[in-house]
Amino acid sequence: MSLLAKFSDLAEQRAALGSADPSKVVIETILSPTEAIINGRHTILAGTNNYLGLTFDPDCIAAGQDALARLGTGTTGSRMANGNYSGHRALEQELAEFYGYPYAMIFSTGYAANLGVLSALLGPDDAVLLDADAHASLYDGASMTRAGIYRFKHNDPDSLDKRLSRLKDRAARTLVVIEGLYSVLGDTAPLQAFVEVKERHGALLMVDEAHSLGVYGEHGRGVVESSGTQDRVDFVVGTFSKSLASTGGFCVSRHRELELFQYASRPYMFTASPCPSVIATTRAALHALRTRPELKNRLWHNAERLYGALKERNLWLGPEVSPVVAVRLEDRGLALNAWQRLLESGVYCNLMLPPAAPEGGSLLRFSLSAAHTDGQVDTLIERIAALGL
């Protein structure tokens, strides 16, 4: 068997998708945070994770343009090799202050943040316990280490407790990894219960707030804030590519050791640091998140309307209202057909098939934005209902 033979299965899977292949969708023109031209058709964007709708925010654009003109297009190297730009340090200070933690560290992407934090934290004598539904980047980061890797049942504190009990004394060298908001079904972690379990066993806890930053909590700090556990969580990681409408990732912590991660984290040490314009737009977006609570309020207004309307039509949805609304379908073919029909009617959402979708099913995933108008949400409701699912 040749080195390339393994790709024959992938080729067959791609061919089976036919025209209903999300990877072939080309956004020809972006018109706004919520509209684009796709296949020559005006299309409502309902699968972008642009939760606060800041991708076209005038202040964010102006900040990026100014940085581009003053500081150039890129850093052309890592922070370890080329030094730190003042914007990198400023953003870290602002993130630390936002969360009320003393320490913060930024990465070039959210994916790199998860890889970088886990690879710095975990060694061969350690263990990591991951929620069964945790994001692929969290599993990938754990696999970069030589730590023992274990899973516990999704959102199940009792399952976590049993796993930690089996580790006995090793529990004190264990990192528990969960997400705040899970991006597939839109369910949140029972964080208070998880914190109590990890404290009972002396473990540390890392929460990925990629999809909950700007969405949960009075100040938008995520599920760590809304659950009242911010002072008891050890590490919070996240991305700039959702609510902050940019690219990059971060970690904040109450542990001083985070300052030393730059000497141990290969995804930090050996990749180019974020471009100055990206840092500038991220800082402007973080300022908007902090000073414009109406954005979060508008997002929840839209989420509650869509989830409530689809629930009334007895569609099989995720377990709770959130800006991620998942329409669950048992049949793969039905999901493919429904996604294609929506796209042809001018609605773009995310298609998830096994094994990405949970429990062997398939789903249509809609992510709401503060920028969606009532009329656009009405259209989403009408065109989903027209599918007759």
Distance from the first to the final alpha carbon of the chain: 44
Q: What is the pLDDT of residue 23?
A: 82
Residues in the chain, total: 389
Q: How far apart are CA 343 and CA 20, in angstroms?
A: 9
Determine the residue type at 311: K
The 10s digit of each residue's pLDDT in 115-138 is: 999 999 999 999 999 999 999 999
Q: How far apart are CA 146 and CA 144, in angstroms?
A: 7
The 10s digit of each residue's pLDDT in 217-267 is: 999 999 999 999 999 999 999 999 999 999 999 999 999 999 999 999 999
DSSP 181: B
Decide which of 15 and 322 is more confident: 322
Determine the residue type at 128: V
Ordered by where they begin, the domains of the chain are: 7-56+293-385 (3.90.1150.10), 75-274 (3.40.640.10)
The mean pLDDT value for 108-119 works out to 97
Whether the pLDDT of residue 109 is over 80: the answer is yes
The mean pLDDT value for 63-91 works out to 95
Least reliable range by pLDDT among 6-10, 232-236, 376-380: 6-10
Tokens standing for residue 5: 């033979």
Whether the pLDDT of residue 347 is over 90: the answer is yes
Whether the pLDDT of residue 375 is over 80: the answer is yes
Q: What is the pLDDT of residue 373?
A: 98
CB 208, CB 238: distance < 8 Å: yes
Q: What is the pTM of this model?
A: 0.96
